[in-house]
Amino acid sequence: MRRRLLLLPAALLVAWGWRWAGLGALRRARSAQPGLGLIFEGGPDPQVTPALLAALGEAGVQATFALDGAAARRYPDLVRAVHAQGHDVAARLPRHPWTWGAARHATAALRSVLGQDPAGLSVGARPTLTGWLAGFLAGAPVIAGQGRAGPDGTLSGVRPGALLHLPGTDERLAAQLPARLADLRAREFEVLPLRDLRGLRPERARDLPATALQEVDVWYDRLGRIRRVGNRASSLFRAGTAPYPLADQPLREGGAVRRGERLIEFHLDSARLTELAERPVAGRRIVTASVRDLARALRDDPDLNTFGAVFSISIFSDVLGLYGFTVVDLPPAHERRLTWWSRVIRRAYGVSDPQKRHTPKLAVMSRAAFVERHARD
């Protein structure tokens, strides 16, 4: 009897872990391409959908519309208009999917209107556990992006490869969309329908280590008050403050940093650097743009512009030496520990040569010299 009582919480734990991992769902694209997928949830709506189509057409952008089955049957011409303008059409999970057949009915409704299968079934950025299960039972590809729009219209989760769920029946969003699209373009993002996002595929078991590492980064950044620097697709760095961990070190531009002195420490986006490995020329350009973003932040941000120097510890420190940093070898114990951790990260992100030795080092530079050399507007 006791074993039977334990089955339910065990099953719920497994189901929760499955939803957290996103196994089998489309959640993000993996590519050097700075692609971004917009998914408009709900509709078609005779007031809002034409406005969204007009804004997208004016911007020359194609996206994805996740439509309600019942509304699609009421406004089939709007569904066909969305499809005719080159947008992907997916089904949307009903708001209350307590009936397992509800998700299947939604996909069937879109199929009957379009004469073909929808691009998938969207369960939203934060699906309930029952909604998650219902989505998979429907049999269509499950779309579960991790970005969304807040109550004030602010977009969260904006990074290359992300899928953003936006309210497709909100008149405010339709009015804001031209400015949003212009902002994304200025930040170097390519807004694309699902079919054009390179590297978009269902999450697999082998993706679990990378997913877990990204979760570790989120919590590490929260605890250390570390935040992303730059607001563009090319932004690679996160920055916070930390005590300088090594012995006093003279700098090539003059002056020195002292052990324990609180400085700016910046961290690299390991996942993005792995994706950029397929395009080394573009990768070098993006690193340069990110260095400039960091330099401008160290010049203009009052939380960052009062510190004497900036440093980073990574396997890319020799590359930073090309940007004027003083590169320092780590003590043997530090080097062994960080070499092991670097190998863990490289394996998790699927680097092709995980056995190749990459030696982590520390790169440090005075804030004044860094700003003078790289803070170009």
- Which of 12, 240, 194, 200 lies closest to 91, judged by CA? 194
| Cα pseudo-dihedral 292, 295, 296, 300, rounded to 10 | 170
Asked whether residue 137 carries a pLDDT value surpassing 60, the answer given is yes
SS3 of the chain: helix, strand, coil, percent, to 5: 45, 20, 35
Q: Whole-model pTM?
A: 0.86
pLDDT digits (tens, 9 = 90+) for 269-307: 877 777 776 666 666 788 888 899 999 999 999 999 899
State which H helix or E strand residue 242 sits in.
Answer: strand 237-243
Q: Which residues contact residue 71 at a Cβ distance below 8 angstroms, ignoring those fewer than 6 apart? A: 42, 43, 44, 45
pLDDT digits (tens, 9 = 90+) for 174-200: 888 999 999 999 989 999 999 999 989
Helices (H), 259-331: 270-276, 280-300, 317-321
Total length of the chain? 377
Least confident of 11-15, 78-82, 124-128, 156-160: 11-15
Shortest CA distance to 157 belongs to which of 222, 66, 213, 218?
Answer: 218
Please report which confidence band the pLDDT of residue 10 belongs to, taking 50, 70 and 90 as the band edges. low
The per-residue pLDDT for 352 is 54
DSSP lists the bridge partners of residue 327 as 363
DSSP state of 195: G
Which of the residue ranges 128-137, 223-232, 312-321 would you say has the lowest mean pLDDT?
Answer: 128-137
In terms of pLDDT, which residue wins out, 323 or 4? 323
Residue 208: band (very low, low, confident or very high) from pLDDT cuts 50, 70, 90: confident
CB-based contact 312:320 (threshold 8 Å): yes
**Is omega for the bond preceding 44 within 30 degrees of 0, making it cis?**
yes
Lowest mean per-residue pLDDT among 33-42, 54-63, 346-355: 346-355
User: What is the predicted pLDDT for the residue at 282?
Assistant: 64
Q: Is the pLDDT of residue 114 over 70?
A: yes
Residue 109 CA to residue 67 CA, distance in Å, equals 10
Number of neighbours of residue 30 by Cβ within 10 angstroms: 19
CB 358 within 8 A of CB 345: no
Q: What is the mean pLDDT of residues 207-217?
A: 84
Q: What angle do CA 312, 35, 134 make, to 5 degrees?
A: 105
Q: Report the SS3 class of residue 31.
A: coil
Which amino acid makes up residue 269? Answer: D
pLDDT recorded at residue 350: 72
Question: Nearest CA to 309 among 359, 234, 377, 248?
Answer: 248
Q: What's the token pair of residue 353?
A: 């040569």
Bridge-partner residues for 191, per DSSP?
Answer: 36
Tell me: the pLDDT tens digits for 317-331? 888 898 999 999 999
- Quick one: average pLDDT of 202-225? 86
**Per-residue confidence (pLDDT) for residue 207, from 0 to 100:** 85
User: Does pLDDT of 351 surpass 70?
Assistant: no
pLDDT at residue 20, rounded to an integer: 74
Tally of CA atoms within 13 A in the half-sphere of 5 that contains its CB: 2
Q: What is the DSSP letter of 23?
A: B
Contact by Cβ (8 Å): 321, 289? no
**Minimum mean pLDDT among 4-8, 83-87, 99-103, 277-281: which range?**
4-8
Which pLDDT belongs to residue 104?
Answer: 84
The two tokens of residue 76 are 């089939």
- Least confident stretch, 52-56, 174-178, 262-266, 282-286: 282-286
For the segment 104-130, the average pLDDT, to the nearest whole number, is 88
| pLDDT 10s digits, 140-184 | 899 988 877 776 667 777 888 899 999 999 888 888 899 999 999
pLDDT for 72 equals 92
The DSSP 8-state label assigned to residue 140 in this structure reads: S
In terms of Cβ atoms closer than 10 Å to its own Cβ (0-12, 13-18, 19+), residue 95 is: exposed
The whole-angstrom separation of Cα 325 and Cα 369 is 10
> Is 90 exceeded by the pLDDT of residue 244?
yes
